């Protein structure tokens, strides 16, 4: 683990990602304590206050400090995105592995159906699911998880099939290993790396998707200080107070970028042949 971390730091993307993620983690954990203002404190005088020494990123239509709200928002958005990705990845990985393991007609049937589900754009699927389950953060999280399942199943399967074709799996079969051993000890360590990389990149998507759902009024509900919600609020005051949007937009983008960078860094760091 420490070795992996060291390898990660040696890649350019990995190093940037770790610094950015460190900032995000601090915001998530310590946000409520370090926020310069009460995120929900309404101040009539502070309405549309432009960014300055007091309000670092300005204030919104109710005079609430944008920076403080962003800090609090991090603590909600990032964990939800992580949970959604984890749920979706795990379910997808199970289906993909199963499909690769069963092979033959079953594999064909499962994968064709997965392909069919992927014909529904992920956002539309998430929209429909949230509307069925009802608005709210938890349901948005479930919707994102479901929307991730087909894609992850597909990737896991293709990675598993590559691993299955390797001669070391052949050697294990030839010496009469059990299916469980072959899947868990021979294939899984080699399947895990690409899946972990893909999962990391998907966290970025989850952050974006969750923000989008909130933006459409389906995820976090007011008066929560959610990033997507802040952009949606700011749209009405786009002319008077563009900082309301810019702050939240940059926060979303930075979080997504750091997970994308982390994924690319892991791709290099997890390569066992890479001697650096």
Partner 1 sequence: MSPIWLGRRLLLVGYTLLVVSLIVFAITQALPADAAVMLLGENATPAALAAVRLRLGLNDPMWLQYWRWLFALLHLDFGTSMRTGLPVGSMMFVALSRSLLLAGCAILMMLVIAVPLGTLAALRRGGVIDLLAGLVSYLGVSLPEFVTATMLLIAFADRLQWLPATGYVPLTQDFLDGLRHLVLPTLTVALILIAHVSRMVRSEMVDVLHSDYIRAARLKGLHAGTILFRHALRNALLPVITVVALDVGYLLGGIIIVEEIFAIPGIGRELIIAIETRDLPAIQAGALIMAATYATANLLADIAYAVLDKRIRYD
Partner 2 sequence: MTPVLQVDGYTLDYATRAGAVHVLDDVSLAIAKGEVLGLVGESGSGKTSLAWAITRALPGNAHEAQGTICLSGEDLRGVSTTRLAAIRGRHIGMVFQDPSTSLNPTLTLGRQVGEVLQRHRGLTRAQAEQETIALLRHVELRDPEALLHRYPHEASGGEKQRVVIATAFACRPELIIFDEPTTALDVITGARILDLFQRLRAETHVAALYISHDLALVSRVADRVAVLERGRIVEEARATDVFRAPTHPYTRRLVQAVPRPDRRLVFDTPQETTVLSGRGLGVRYGRARLFGRTHVTGASGISLDVRAGEILGVVGESGSGKSTLARALTGLAPFQGEITFRGRTIAAPRAMDRAYRGAVQIVFQHPDSSLNPRHRIGETLSRPLRLFGAQDKVADLLEQVRLPASYADRYPHQLSGGEKQRVAIARAFAARPALVICDEITAALDVSVQAAVIELLLTLRQLHGTAYLFITHDINLVRQIAHRLAVMRHGALVDLLPIEALSGPDTHPYTRALLAASPTPVGLEGIT
Sequence-ordered alpha helix ranges (H) in the chain: 2-10, 12-34, 66-102, 104-118, 122-133, 137-164, 167-174, 179-181, 188-215, 227-235, 243-269
Interatomic CA distance for residues 23 and 257, integer angstroms: 13
CB closer to partner 2 out of 34 and 116: 116
Count of positions on this chain that bind partner 2 (CB under 8 A): 24
Interatomic CA distance for residues 194 and 269, integer angstroms: 11
Q: Is position 115 an interface residue for partner 2 (rule: CB under 8 A)?
A: no
Least Å from the CB of residue 20 to partner 1:
11
Judged by beta carbon distances under 5 to 8 A according to partner kind, the member of partner 1, partner 2, none in contact with residue 262 is: none
Stretch that binds partner 2, among 43-51, 91-99, 150-158, 161-169 (CB under 8 A): 161-169
Stretch that binds partner 2, among 17-25, 28-36, 53-61, 162-170 (CB under 8 A): 162-170
CB closer to partner 1 out of 59 and 111: 111
Stretch that binds partner 2, among 24-32, 54-62, 105-113, 234-242 (CB under 8 A): 105-113
Least Å from the CB of residue 10 to partner 2:
11
Q: Which residues contact 238 (CB under 8 A, 6 or more apart)?
A: 245
Residues 109/51, Cβ–Cβ less than 8 Å = no
Q: In angstroms, what is the C-alpha Rg of the chain?
A: 22
Q: How far is CA 256 from the centre of its chain?
A: 8
Q: State both tokens at 46.
A: 């502070």
CB closer to partner 1 out of 216 and 270: 216
Q: State both tokens at 60.
A: 């919104």
Q: Is position 260 an interface residue for partner 1 (rule: CB under 8 A)?
A: yes
Among 132, 158, 157, 151, which residue's Cα sits nearest to residue 143? 132
State how far the alpha carbon of 86 is from the alpha carbons of 83, 155, 245, 251, 257, in Å: 5, 15, 29, 22, 18
Least Å from the CB of residue 151 to partner 2:
20
- Contact residues toward partner 2 (CB under 8 A) are 103-105, 107-109, 112, 166-168, 170-171, 173-177, 186, 189-190, 272-273, 275-276
- Contact residues toward partner 1 (CB under 8 A) are 112-113, 115-124, 127-129, 131-132, 134, 204, 208-209, 211-212, 215-216, 228, 231-232, 234-235, 238-239, 242, 245-246, 248-249, 252-254, 256-257, 260-261
């Amino acid at each position: 683990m420490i070795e992996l971390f060291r390898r990660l730091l040696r890649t350019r993307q990995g190093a940037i990602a770790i610094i950015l993620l460190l900032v995000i983690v601090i915001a998530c954990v310590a946000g409520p304590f370090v926020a310069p203002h009460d995120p929900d404190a309404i101040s009539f005088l502070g309405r549309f206050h432009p960014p300055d020494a007091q309000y670092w990123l300005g204030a919104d239509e109710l005079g609430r400090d944008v920076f403080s709200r962003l800090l609090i928002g991090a603590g909600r958005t990032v964990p939800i995105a992580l949970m959604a990705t984890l749920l979706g990845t795990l379910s997808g990985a199970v289906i993909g592995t199963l499909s690769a393991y069963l092979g033959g007609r079953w594999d064909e049937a499962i994968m064709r159906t997965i392909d069919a589900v992927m014909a529904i754009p992920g956002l539309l699927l998430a929209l429909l699911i949230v509307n069925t389950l009802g608005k709210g953060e938890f349901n948005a999280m479930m919707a994102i998880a479901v929307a991730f399942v087909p894609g992850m199943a597909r990737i896991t399967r293709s990675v598993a099939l590559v691993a299955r074709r390797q001669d070391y799996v052949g050697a294990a079969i030839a010496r009469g290993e059990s299916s469980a051993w072959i899947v868990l000890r021979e294939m899984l360590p080699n399947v895990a790396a690409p899946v972990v990389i893909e999962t990391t990149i998907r966290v970025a998507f989850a952050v974006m998707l969750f923000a989008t759902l909130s933006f459409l009024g389906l995820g976090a509900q007011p008066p929560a200080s959610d990033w997507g919600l802040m952009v949606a609020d700011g749209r009405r005051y786009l002319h008077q107070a563009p900082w309301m949007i810019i702050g939240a937009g940059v926060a979303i983008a930075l979080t997504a970028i750091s997970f994308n960078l982390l994924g690319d860094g892991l791709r290099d760091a997890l390569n066992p042949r890479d001697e650096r």
